[in-house]
Amino acid sequence: MPSPIDPAERLLNLLIALVNSRGRMTKEQVRASVAGYADAPSDDAFERMFERDKDTLRELGIPLVTVTDAGHGDDIGYRIDLEAYALPPIDLTAAELGVLTLAAQTWQDRTMRGDTSRALTKLRAVGQGPGATDLVAGLAPRVRSGGSVFAPLLDAAQARQVVRLTYRAASTGEVRERRVEPWQLVARRGGWVLVGWDQDRQAPRSFRLSRIEGSVRVTGEPGAFPPPDPDLVDRALAAWRAGPSRVATLAVLPERAEATRVRAVDAPAGAVDWSADPQVAPVLVGRDIVHVEYRNAWELAEELVGYGDAVLVIDPPEVRGHVLSLLRRAAELAPEVTRG
């Protein structure tokens, strides 16, 4: 015996049937031809099911129209107003399509990759030809998905629920539990940052998702705290960006790490000639010297470690130390991943 069709699938079947109907569909036609309605055990159950689905379509903004037969007032049918439902023609310039491509390439999470690829395929059909993405070639950054903690944090921020999380501090390496009122999730340098109110420290704080260990526990009821004050959010973000600007020296393989290369700056005054250093010079063979500005050593390290051996940190030792620490932690996890 076939299993009942999911309500969401039934709703989609109804929408497809109404969109493709030449005229209108009566309730009897819906029950007989749309998959999912035959599951109704009685006429009353079908009526409730159909009325609920009609209300849902209208709540979604879909123009469902009731049509009454001119000769028989009790002969009622339904259709979708295609003129109101259809989008206006899309006219994208090469630059606009290029920006959309850049945004889609940013997302590497498997749950979104298929959707963005299909959307771009459709948009290219109305774009300006194969050269439409050339304006942003090589500039696509990579934003990691945020791991298993991203979804619960996003849900908690939307519902305004307090969360408990175990966090490893970047500066000291201290690991401790934190109670946080989540405000926003912000993409920053290839990763995600949670901005919120630290209940233990009674101050706004920012938390890199990659430094959250274990799972996020949601506590309390929805609406446990008021919407954040925009000034407090700005203060938290400003604190995240605080610190003097410094310059790191990298040795990068040709045509690699384009998102880092695009931020390259001139060598600072009095910079060391590393090619004259007998220990460093062999490492530079076949690589380009790239200088990039940064404020947080561990933040830059988390960005660079994703490039593997394509990027080597020449200077400063602080950034190199953070990169090595991350690589050691990854190596420690490797056997567990292999066994799993």
Along the 340 residues of the chain, how does pLDDT read in single tens digits?
456 788 888 998 898 888 888 788 899 999 988 988 988 889 999 999 999 999 999 888 888 988 887 666 567 889 888 877 776 666 766 666 666 665 665 555 544 555 555 565 555 554 444 444 444 444 444 555 567 888 889 899 999 999 999 998 766 778 899 999 999 888 765 568 888 999 998 888 888 887 888 889 999 889 999 988 888 887 777 766 666 788 999 999 998 888 788 889 998 888 888 888 898 999 999 999 999 998 888 788 888 888 888 999 999 999 998 888 878 877 775 554 444 4
Same structural domain, 74 and 105? no
Same structural domain, 262 and 317? yes
Same structural domain, 114 and 165? no
2, part of any domain: no
249 and 273 Cβ atoms separated by less than 8 Å: no
List, in sequence order, every beta strand (DSSP E) within the chain: 25-26, 64-68, 76-80, 162-168, 175-188, 191-198, 203-208, 212-219, 246-252, 264-265, 288-294, 311-315
CA distance 37 to 25: 14
Same structural domain, 152 and 236? yes
- Which of these three, 196, 215, 241, is where a domain ends? 241
CA distance 280 to 31: 75
Q: Helix and strand tally (H, E) in the chain?
A: 12, 12
Same structural domain, 264 and 232? no
171, part of any domain: yes
- Which of these three, 214, 241, 268, is where a domain ends? 241
- Which of these three, 207, 241, 275, is where a domain ends? 241
Considering only CA atoms, give the Rg of the chain: 28
CA distance 69 to 275: 86
213, part of any domain: yes
Nearest to 64 by CA among 48, 51, 47, 74: 51
CA distance 177 to 199: 11
The DSSP secondary structure of 109-138, one letter per residue, reads: -HHHHHHHHHHHHHHHTTSS-GGGGGGGTT
Expressed as residue numbers, the domain containing 115 is 94-136
Same structural domain, 106 and 79? no
Q: Into how many domains does the chain fold?
A: 4
Q: Copy the structure tokens of residue 232.
A: 């407090």
CA distance 37 to 17: 13
CA distance 127 to 167: 45
141, part of any domain: no
> What count of Cα atoms within 13 Å lies in the side-chain half-sphere of residue 317?
0
